[in-house]
Chains A and B, each alone.
Chain A
Amino acid sequence: MAFLIRTIDFTAAGREIVRDRTIEQSELTIGRAAENDIHLPDLAVEQRHVRLFEAGDGMLGAESIGGLGFGINGRTEKSASIDPSVGAELALGSARLVISREAGAPVQITIKQVEKDEGAADALVGFELASALPSKRTMAWTFAALILVLLLSVPIVTHLTRDPVENDPENLTKGQVALDSTWSTGELSLAHHELEENCEACHVTPFVSVQDETCLTCHEELGEHAEMPRLANGMPPLSTGDAIQWNIAQTLGKEGPLGCVSCHSEHEGPIKLEASDQQFCADCHTDLDARLTDVSFGNAADFGDKHPQFRPQFFTAYSADKPKRISFSNKPVERSGLIFPHDVHVDENSGVARMAISLDQYGEPLECSDCHSEWSDEALIVKVTEQGGKPSDFGDFAPVNMEESCEACHSLVFDRAGPNFRNLRHGDVDDLMADLATMNRGPRQPVTAVRDRPGHFGRGGRYSVNFGRPMSAYIAVNRALEKTGVCGECHIPTTTNGRRDLIPVNLPHRFLMKGAFNHAAHDDDVAECVDCHATDTSDEASDLLIPDLDSCRDCHLGESAVETEEIVPSSCAMCHGYHTPTAPWRPEDHDLPGNGGNDTVAAILSSLRR
Chain B
Amino acid sequence: MASIPGNRYAQDEKRRSADHVSFLKHKRFRYLWVALILSLLSIVGYAFIDQEPRPNGGSWYGYTLGTIGLLLIVWLSLLGVRKRKITEGQWSLKAWTSAHVYLGLALIVIGTLHTGFQIGWNVHTLAYVLMLIVIISGIYGVYTYATLPSSLSSNRKEMTRAQMLEALTALDRQLEAAAQPLDREQSDLVIDALGQDVFYGGALARLTGAYPGCKTKRALKRIDPNGSEAEARVHTLLSKRSDQLAQIRRHLRIRALLEVWLFIHIPATIALLAALLAHVVSVFYYW
A and B interact physically: yes
Using a CB–CB distance below 8 Å, which chain A residues touch chain B?
A: 71, 73-76, 85-89, 91, 96, 98, 100, 102-103, 110, 117, 120-121, 123-124, 126-133, 136, 139-145, 147-148, 151-152, 155-156, 159, 180-187, 199, 203, 206-210, 245, 252-254, 265, 268
A139 x B282 contact (CB < 8 A): no
Instruction: Name the contact of A185 in the complex, choosing from B58, B173, B233 (C-beta under 8 A).
Output: B58
Nearest CB of chain B from residue A205's CB, rounded to whole Å: 9
A130 closest partner in B (C-beta): B259
Whether B214 sits at the interface, judged by CB under 8 Å, is: no
Instruction: Name the contact of A136 in the complex, choosing from B198, B262, B281 (C-beta under 8 A).
Output: B262
CA distance A103 to B54 in the complex (A): 87
Question: Which residues does chain B contribute within 8 Å of A88, judged by CB atoms?
Answer: 174
Sample (30) of A-B pairs whose CB atoms are under 8 Å apart: A73-B170, A74-B168, A74-B169, A74-B171, A85-B229, A85-B233, A87-B174, A100-B233, A123-B198, A126-B197, A127-B252, A128-B259, A129-B255, A129-B259, A130-B263, A136-B266, A140-B270, A141-B270, A142-B267, A143-B268, A144-B270, A144-B273, A147-B271, A148-B278, A151-B123, A182-B122, A185-B58, A252-B287, A253-B287, A254-B287
B165 x A120 contact (CB < 8 A): yes
B255 x A184 contact (CB < 8 A): no
A153 closest partner in B (C-beta): B278
CA distance A209 to B285 in the complex (A): 8
Given contacts A143-B270, A143-B274, 10 further A-B contacts (CB under 8 A): A74-B168, A124-B165, A127-B255, A128-B255, A140-B270, A147-B123, A147-B278, A148-B277, A152-B123, A185-B58
Across the A-B interface, the 10 shortest Cβ-Cβ residue pairs:
A74-B167, A140-B270, A143-B271, A139-B267, A144-B274, A126-B199, A203-B286, A152-B278, A74-B166, A129-B259
Question: Which residues does chain B contribute within 8 Å of A85, judged by CB atoms?
Answer: 229, 233
Contact with A along B94-134 (1 / 0, CB 8 A): 00000000000000000000000010111110100000000
B281 x A152 contact (CB < 8 A): yes
CA distance A539 to B244 in the complex (A): 114
Instruction: Name the contact of B229 in the complex, choosing from A76, A89, A102, A181 (C-beta under 8 A).
Output: A102
Interchain pairs with CB closer than 8 A, number:
185
Nearest CB of chain A from residue B65's CB, rounded to whole Å: 15
CA distance A98 to B274 in the complex (A): 59
CA distance A91 to B166 in the complex (A): 10
B178 x A185 contact (CB < 8 A): no
- Which residues in window 55-110 of B have CB below 8 A to A? 56-58, 60
Whether B237 sits at the interface, judged by CB under 8 Å, is: yes
Instruction: Name the contact of B123 in the complex, choosing from A87, A96, A183, A252 (C-beta under 8 A).
Output: A183
- Which residues in window 223-273 of B have CB below 8 A to A? 229, 233, 236-237, 240, 244, 251-252, 255-256, 259-260, 262-263, 266-271, 273
CA distance A268 to B281 in the complex (A): 20
Contact with A along B193-206 (1 / 0, CB 8 A): 00001110111001
Question: Which of B124, B198, B202, B281 has the most chain A CB within a 10 Å cutoff?
Answer: B281
CA distance A131 to B162 in the complex (A): 16
Instruction: Name the contact of A98 in the complex, choosing from B60, B168, B173 (C-beta under 8 A).
Output: B173
Whether B159 sits at the interface, judged by CB under 8 Å, is: yes
CA distance A40 to B274 in the complex (A): 64
Whether B153 sits at the interface, judged by CB under 8 Å, is: no
Interface of B is mostly: helix
Nearest CB of chain B from residue A128's CB, rounded to whole Å: 7
Using a CB–CB distance below 8 Å, which chain B residues touch chain A?
A: 53-54, 56-58, 60, 118, 120-124, 126, 159, 161-171, 173-174, 177-178, 197-199, 201-203, 206, 229, 233, 236-237, 240, 244, 251-252, 255-256, 259-260, 262-263, 266-271, 273-275, 277-278, 281-287
B287 closest partner in A (C-beta): A209
Question: Which of B163, B199, B267 has the most chain A CB within a 10 Å cutoff?
Answer: B267
Given the contacts A136-B267, A185-B58, A265-B53, A86 and B122 also touching, CB distance less than 8 Å:
no
CA distance A366 to B158 in the complex (A): 111
B124 closest partner in A (C-beta): A185
Question: Which residues does chain B contribute within 8 Å of A148, judged by CB atoms?
Answer: 274, 277-278
A129 x B274 contact (CB < 8 A): no
B53 closest partner in A (C-beta): A265
Nearest CB of chain A from residue B123's CB, rounded to whole Å: 5
Question: Which residues does chain A contribute within 8 Å of B267, judged by CB atoms?
Answer: 136, 139-140, 142-143
B122 x A126 contact (CB < 8 A): no
CA distance A182 to B252 in the complex (A): 40
Question: Which residues does chain B contribute within 8 Å of A152, judged by CB atoms?
Answer: 123, 274, 277-278, 281-282
B173 x A96 contact (CB < 8 A): yes
A89 x B57 contact (CB < 8 A): no
B285 x A184 contact (CB < 8 A): no
A138 closest partner in B (C-beta): B267
B203 x A96 contact (CB < 8 A): no
Question: Which residues does chain A contribute within 8 Å of B118, judged by CB atoms?
Answer: 185-186
B237 x A86 contact (CB < 8 A): yes
A186 x B120 contact (CB < 8 A): yes
A147 x B275 contact (CB < 8 A): yes
Given the contacts A85-B233, A129-B203, A143-B270, A185 and B174 also touching, CB distance less than 8 Å:
no
B174 x A155 contact (CB < 8 A): no
B171 x A73 contact (CB < 8 A): yes
A210 x B163 contact (CB < 8 A): no
CA distance A473 to B10 in the complex (A): 133
